[in-house]
């Protein structure tokens, strides 16, 4: 399984397995609920190359990973026993955090597991809209009806799914929670919707259509979770298997249809009415404020709080003006990434970051990598994202743009015309994207930021002197000094960006090249000291007298072999000479295990030097220079 080593690191840095109450994930974030957030090491987590940012918000410790989040989530579950059911009642009472934090945690935890299904079903509904608009099929066609069932099911039966996810959060039986939701949709109950004088044991009941509703099941399951815990304290253990669920169902379903359902429905309508009232007051102002605020709510992980309102509006009105405005924030962020990419030089740090995040934003509608990889790191970008999102939001608010299906805001939902009026939608997102890009290009980069936008070797070429170097190693650098790095492997040298690993290809782990070896032996690429030998023997580090820190990483993901097929010939602290054998590895074993042999040879502290000049690609031997490390002048 991929990412096991990374998963162990994450678990360690959040305080260990014993410190984790529960874990869920959304499109880009691992959302931990920790027993003691003080035991987590935020700085260490943020320093991991595969972690974009760490956010503590909404009662959750959120580790932002990006599109590969599900793989990391699966890996973590495989290496740690995590109580996914949530806190006990005592732990919940002791849990620190404001009421708003707890509310947001409940909403996020309830919807996060359902987001992929909701988004996928929303795209099916959007696709059907396109088919009917262009006459591909009609509303009565059997094909349409079958696909419509696929798209509608998760929304219609939402009380069931929420019953399950909510019960898990509160430590109750998830399927009893789902059963309470199912009872509200059962034909015997829905058959009472048109009946008169409905009662339960003489108590009047107002039948309500609970399909696609949210708030009633929220209230019902929260009450149910405490009821179940109370019953388990008084019912003998031998009888709990059937008696506790039986009593919970018999009590909760009537209470829900008599009390919690009508109350929850009224509450949902009031919340939606407040949002709509803001737009009724002034659509432009409401759109501008909501659009400008949305990126910052996303940064804090609070944007999921809009999901209940969105689903309620889709159910009540067939369209949601909240997402109709907030879509502009997505395109404003994409615009900023495009502007950063245009402004940056080839091979610069920011271009390597911006390129992939643009694609992720356009194709998936996931913009956290842009927020954390670009916007959060440059002070003017925060102002730009608010301005650009607000401009787009004001336009969409003026046109009263609505999102008519639950979708991620990407190129596919655009192509399927999921928004109306479509012309107003296009005007809003175009303005947001263009203003984000233009402000970034012409105003967003300060002189302090410019180094990240220059190619290696160009930083500081604007006439400014590099910052003074400190530390014993750095003080050894002579004016104009260069360090020649020889090929540690015989084989084919390739450009780093051609490596099929995002971390290495992006330059996050260091700069240099990679070699596809033809022989299973690593030799010293220069004189120096062995500074690191991995326990898994798949990588080795060398530091030169001039302070160049090199990493030779044999293969991709070969840490998973746990040392099998590798033999180290030196130890940490050993003095080595250029050409001295350091490591041997079994090429056939690595290939048979399914791992790539492509081996990055990196300068891990490249920012401490003026330039990394590639000397040769293609076939190389251990006697050839592959690149030169150019030191700053004093």
Read off φ and ψ for residue 621, nearest 5 degrees: -130, 175
Q: Which long-range contacts (CB under 8 A, 24 or more apart) does 454-460 make?
A: 454/344, 454/345, 454/348, 455/345, 455/346, 455/347, 455/348, 456/347, 456/348, 456/511, 456/606, 456/611, 456/612, 457/610, 457/611, 457/612, 457/613, 457/630, 458/345, 459/610, 460/610, 460/632
Among the listed residues 406, 413, 344, 414, the one whose alpha carbon sits nearest the alpha carbon of residue 373: 344
| DSSP letter for each residue of 219-253 | HHHHHHHHHHHHHHHHS-HHHHHHHHHHHHHHHHH
User: Which of 26, 248, 326, 328 is the catalytic position?
Assistant: 26
The helix (H) or strand (E) run that includes residue 45 is helix 42-46
Among the listed residues 630, 604, 602, 611, the one whose alpha carbon sits nearest the alpha carbon of residue 477: 630
- Rounded Cα–Cα distance for residues 168 and 170 (Å): 5
* Helical axes 142-156 vs 158-169, angle rounded to 10°: 30
Beta bridge mates, 28: none
- Rounded Cα–Cα distance for residues 329 and 436 (Å): 10
Q: Which long-range contacts (CB under 8 A, 24 or more apart) does 245-248 make?
A: 245/173, 245/176, 248/173, 248/176, 248/180, 248/224
Sorted by sequence, the CB contacts under 8 Å of residue 227 that are 6+ apart come out as: 248, 251, 252
- Rounded Cα–Cα distance for residues 305 and 522 (Å): 53
**Length reported for the chain:** 634
Q: pTM for the whole thing?
A: 0.49
Q: Report helix, strand and coil shares of the chain as percent, to nearest 5.
A: 55, 15, 30
User: Which of 25, 347, 409, 553 is the catalytic position?
Assistant: 553
- Rounded Cα–Cα distance for residues 306 and 90 (Å): 29
Residue 37 CA from chain centroid, whole number: 20
Among the listed residues 336, 300, 512, 523, the one whose alpha carbon sits nearest the alpha carbon of residue 441: 336
- Rounded Cα–Cα distance for residues 13 and 43 (Å): 9
Q: Are 616 and 625 in contact (CB under 8 A)?
A: yes
Among the listed residues 487, 485, 507, the one whose alpha carbon sits nearest the alpha carbon of residue 496: 507
Our answer to whether residue 553 is catalytic in this structure is yes
Q: Is the bond preceding residue 421 a cis peptide, omega within 30 degrees? A: yes
Q: Are 620 and 626 in contact (CB under 8 A)?
A: yes
Our separate counts of H helices and E strands in the chain read: 24, 22
Give pLDDT, residue 505.
77
For the chain, residues with pLDDT lower than 50 are 84-96, 457-479
- Rounded Cα–Cα distance for residues 116 and 112 (Å): 8
Sorted by sequence, the CB contacts under 8 Å of residue 276 that are 6+ apart come out as: 313, 321
Our answer to whether residue 26 is catalytic in this structure is yes
Write out pLDDT tens, residues 566-613: 999 988 888 899 989 999 999 999 988 888 899 999 998 887 888 888
């Amino acid at each position: 399984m991929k990412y096991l080593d990374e998963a162990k690191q994450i678990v360690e840095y959040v305080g260990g397995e014993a410190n984790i109450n529960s874990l869920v994930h959304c499109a880009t974030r691992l959302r931990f609920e920790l027993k003691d957030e003080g035991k987590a090491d935020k700085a260490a987590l943020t320093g991991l190359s595969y972690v974009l940012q760490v956010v503590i918000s909404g009662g959750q410790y959120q580790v932002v990973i990006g599109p590969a989040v599900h793989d990391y989530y699966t890996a973590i579950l495989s290496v740690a026993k995590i109580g996914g059911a949530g806190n006990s009642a005592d732990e919940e009472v002791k849990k620190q955090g404001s009421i708003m934090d707890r509310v947001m945690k409940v909403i996020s935890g309830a919807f996060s597991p359902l987001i992929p299904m909701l988004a996928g079903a929303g795209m099916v509904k959007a696709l059907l809209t396109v088919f009917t608009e262009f006459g591909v099929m009609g509303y009565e066609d059997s094909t349409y009806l079958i696909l419509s069932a696929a798209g509608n099911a998760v929304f219609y039966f939402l009380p069931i799914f929420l019953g399950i996810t909510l019960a898990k959060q509160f430590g109750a039986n998830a399927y009893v929670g789902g059963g309470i939701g199912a009872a509200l949709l059962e034909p015997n109950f829905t058959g009472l919707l048109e009946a008169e004088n409905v009662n339960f044991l003489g108590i009047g009941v107002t039948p309500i259509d609970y399909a696609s509703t949210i708030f009633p099941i929220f209230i019902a399951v929260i009450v149910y979770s405490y009821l179940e815990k109370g019953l388990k304290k008084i019912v003998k253990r031998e009888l709990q298997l059937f008696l506790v669920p039986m009593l919970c169902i018999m009590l909760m379903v009537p209470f829900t249809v008599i009390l919690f359902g009508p109350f929850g429905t009224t509450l949902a309508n009031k919340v939606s009415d407040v949002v709509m009232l803001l737009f009724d007051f002034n659509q432009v102002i409401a759109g501008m404020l909501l659009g400008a605020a949305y990126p910052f709510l996303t940064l804090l992980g609070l944007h999921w709080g809009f999901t209940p309102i969105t689903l309620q509006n889709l159910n009540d009105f067939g369209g949601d003006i909240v997402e109709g405005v907030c879509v502009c924030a997505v395109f404003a962020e994409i615009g900023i990434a495009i502007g950063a990419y245009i402004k940056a030089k080839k091979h610069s740090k920011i271009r390597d970051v911006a390129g992939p995040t643009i694609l992720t934003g356009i194709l998936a509608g996931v913009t956290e990598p842009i927020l954390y990889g670009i916007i959060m790191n440059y002070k003017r970008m925060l102002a730009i994202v608010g301005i650009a999102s607000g401009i787009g939001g004001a336009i969409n608010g003026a046109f009263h743009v609505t999102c008519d299906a639950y979708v991620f805001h990407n190129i596919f939902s655009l192509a399927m015309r999921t928004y109306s009026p479509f012309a107003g939608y296009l005007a809003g997102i175009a303005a947001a994207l263009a203003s984000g890009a233009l402000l970034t290009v012409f105003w967003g980069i300060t002189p302090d930021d410019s180094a990240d936008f220059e190619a290696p070797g160009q930083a500081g070429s604007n006439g400014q002197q590099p910052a003074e170097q400190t530390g014993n190693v750095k003080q050894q650098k002579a004016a104009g000094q260069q360090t020649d790095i020889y090929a540690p492997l015989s084989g084919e040298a390739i450009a780093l960006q051609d490596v099929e690993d995002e971390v290495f290809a992006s330059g996050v782990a260091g700069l240099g090249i990679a070699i596809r070896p033809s022989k299973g032996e690593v030799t010293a690429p220069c004189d120096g000291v062995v500074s690191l030998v991995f326990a898994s023997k798949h990588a080795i580090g060398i530091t030169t007298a001039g302070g160049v820190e090199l990493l030779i990483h044999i293969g991709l993901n070969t840490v998973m072999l746990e040392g099998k097929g590798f033999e180290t010939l030196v130890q940490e602290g050993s003095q080595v000479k250029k050409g001295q054998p350091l490591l041997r590895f079994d090429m056939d074993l690595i290939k048979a295990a399914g791992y790539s042999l492509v081996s990055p040879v990196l300068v891990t502290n490249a920012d401490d030097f003026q330039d990394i000049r590639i000397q040769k690609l293609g076939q190389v031997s251990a006697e050839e220079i592959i690149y030169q490390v150019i030191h700053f002048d004093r």
